Amino acid sequence: MFRFARIKNVWLKDRFIAWFVRSYQVDLSEAVRENIEDYQHFNDFFTRALKPNARKISDSLIVCPVDGKVSKVGNINNTQIIQAKNHRYSVRQLLGNDARSVEFKAGFFATIYLSPKDYHRIHMPYDGELISMSYIPGDLFSVNQITAENLDGLFARNERIVCYFETEFGLCVFVLVGAIFVGSMQTVWHGQINPPYQKQIQHFDYSNENISLKKGQELGRFNMGSTVIMLMPNQANKFSLKKAEVVRMGQALV
């Protein structure tokens, strides 16, 4: 799929993009390039940029990082996160056994699913200084609601990128979760992280590089869609979200 999404054959890529737009009802009027002929290949279309006025960044403390649908939102209880009804997983599992998981014994989280039709660039939900990043290899199960309700530890089993930010709220964690057909993720500071695929967890330390990102600034993108998970430390500003709520990048979360 990674190779197919980068085929530049005009006839093939235009027909596939046109089918995709029809099938998933993609709103190209929001995109900088509204004509499918203007995209080099399918991945170029899939990671399309939006017009500057397509999304307004709220003045609130925390904003939504993506377009999507809320899979789950709630409190972190004794390091446990709700995946779906009767399914939980631990922060430690999600973060690849990172010692910093103990800092999220309490707190709150939001899991947001990006459907194929959604805008697939990811933006900063808050001002933050990048501390480190981990690439955690894993499976590529689908992350739709049906799978989440039936597969134990789904988000802690799939391939993922974990980003640690120091913020005005304390240490915050932002997780990009891979899924079926999603074999490639990238960030603005690193570029494409996978492929190449690794068998071991890879750690990247940015504590001395002064990489600061502002709320609403692009963080990265999925080369095909998936899920993001936000972990927040225990403090007063809870997310004003509901399960199954449709959200848009830039809207207020608190």
Q: Using one digit for the tens of pLDDT, what is the confidence trace for 79-107?
A: 999 887 667 889 999 999 999 999 999 99
- Residue 242's SS3 state is coil
How far apart are the C-alpha atoms of 83 and 177, rounded to whole Å? 13
Decide if pLDDT at 182 tops 80: no
Backbone angles phi, psi at 99, to 5 degrees: -60, -25
- Residue 205's SS3 state is strand
Out of 71, 98, 120, 123, the active site residue is 123
Give the pair of three-digit tokens for residue 52. 């500057």
Out of 67, 71, 134, 184, the active site residue is 67
Residue 181's pLDDT is: 65
Q: Which CA distances in Å does 168 have to 21, 128, 145, 225?
A: 40, 8, 33, 29
Q: Which residue has the higher pLDDT, 195 or 125?
A: 125
Q: Is 67 assigned a catalytic role?
A: yes
- Residue 156's SS3 state is helix
Give the range among 76-90, 105-119, 154-168 with minimum mean pLDDT. Answer: 76-90
Mean pLDDT of the residues in the chain: 91
Residue 86's pLDDT is: 66
Decide if pLDDT at 178 tops 70: yes
Q: Which residue has the higher pLDDT, 214 or 243?
A: 214
Provide the percentage of residues in the chain whose pLDDT is more than 90: 72
Judge whether 161 and 102 are in contact, CB under 8 Å. Answer: no
The model scores a pTM over 0.75: yes
Residue 85's pLDDT is: 66
Q: Which residue has the higher pLDDT, 235 or 60?
A: 60
